[in-house]
Amino acid sequence: MEAEIINMGFISIIPALIAIILSFVTRNTIVSLVAACITGTLLAGQGALGFPTLLKESLGTTSFSWVMLLNTFIAIIVAYFQKTGAIQSFSQMIHDKNLSRRGAQLMAWVLGIFVYFSDSFSPLFVGSTMRSITDKARISREKLAYIADSTSAPVSVLVPITGWAAYLSGLAVGIGCIATDEDAASLFLHAIPFNFYALLAVAMVGLIGSGILKDFGPMAKAEKRAMEEGKVLRDGAVPLIGKELTEMKAYEGIRPRVFLNFLLPVLMIVTIALGTYITLGSAKTMEAFLFVIIFMSISMILQGIPFREVMDTLTDGIKGAVPAVTLLALAYSINALSKSMGTANYIVSLSEDFLTPALLPAIIFLISAIMAFATGSSWGTFAICMPIALPLAFTFTGGTLSPLIHACFAAVAGGGVFGDHCSPLSDTTVLSSTGSAADHIDHVQTQLPYALCCGTLAVILYLVIGFVFI
């Protein structure tokens, strides 16, 4: 396909435009990406079989298989955490500490950072684990939802051993001098210091929770209400709690073992991933998660959970990964389509007269942020923006790696997280409201000023980097 479809001019941007416009209209990234892929293959003259062929060619890769398996393994481990009762036990353990307001906020912050491997699990875990503790400390549900939200995607996008890292790295393979998965992983690592929004968002939670920064905007009113009136929810608020998102019930009769069933598996994943990176030069993340799945399966059986129950839990975890894997498949497909149609080359030709290296990171961040906010999907934004942003950056560097490449890669990642973080349509935002049992709109309204503050600072930093160091 790629040999036949290159440099198609204006036609090459039509699939991306369709994806963007439909995302605004439908608020559904999957539908938008499907329509964009089908339209693109038809425009490319591939006929009725173009879309299936695109899926076969773009998904039959080592890169996609790797990120798909990684996300599936994470979902299985999350299901295991729930079945063993590790979450419930951990929550009770913290509850017994009688934490102060400051201590409770900082504990929620630390928990969110600790559960870095899943932006979907993290807000549910932090919210449900800390809810009774923060209620006792007279912390508003809005504040808890903010902490849970700001330590989910912003943390996941900074850690090189997550599905986010694998996904973002995979999108960079084949662009410029990024030829292999190892090259892409190295790019991700070098881009971390340039991911200003994610770094600022995580840091701000700690500063707010510790009292170094005072609450402002709608959050200040919510916190005043909780402290003075003891109302963790405003009058008339509708907590967002969905039965389909409640935690899986623990197996009856199992003895609570927080260290064995939660802390140890997480430590094993981190140790294996970091250890292999140090010794082998490549973090064996997928292997780490697979090893932990085997370990936990055997451990659960030895603890008295029947083999069939363990297998049913594993299957439930796989089912839970299907929505993410579906989005992944379509994201990889439109990425491949954009490359084959020469979308990036066309945009480069349009922008080369006015776009400068100094402005590029800030502009990429803003575009990614707007798109993610409108669609509620950071991953869909990554799929559309990464194959455009990186080739543009490589045009200015002559195809070589430089701080500009690192900054532009980080700008796509941070911009997508910023927009997703602010959007009421974001699944992470919804999950944060759900786990914290907060009113969803109240959560969005109280969090937005904090996110905008971090986003504005990120733009300023990208401009400084662009004009001073690039």
For the chain, the structural domain boundaries read 9-469
Q: What is the pLDDT of residue 243?
A: 42
Contact assessment for residue 412 and residue 172, using Cβ atoms and an 8 Å cutoff: no
Neighbours of 293 (CB within 10 A): 19
Name the CA radius of gyration of the chain, rounded. 22
Cα separation, 470 vs 463, whole angstroms: 10
What pTM was estimated for this model as a whole? 0.76
> Residue 348: what pLDDT?
60
pLDDT at 241: 60
Q: What percent of the chain has pLDDT over 90?
A: 37
Contact yes or no for 387/335 (Cβ under 8 A): yes
Residues of the chain short of pLDDT 50, as ranges, are 1-5, 242-247
Angle at which helix 440-464 crosses helix 196-210, to 10 degrees, equals 120
- Please name which of 149, 57, 162 lies closest in space to residue 436, comparing C-alpha atoms: 149
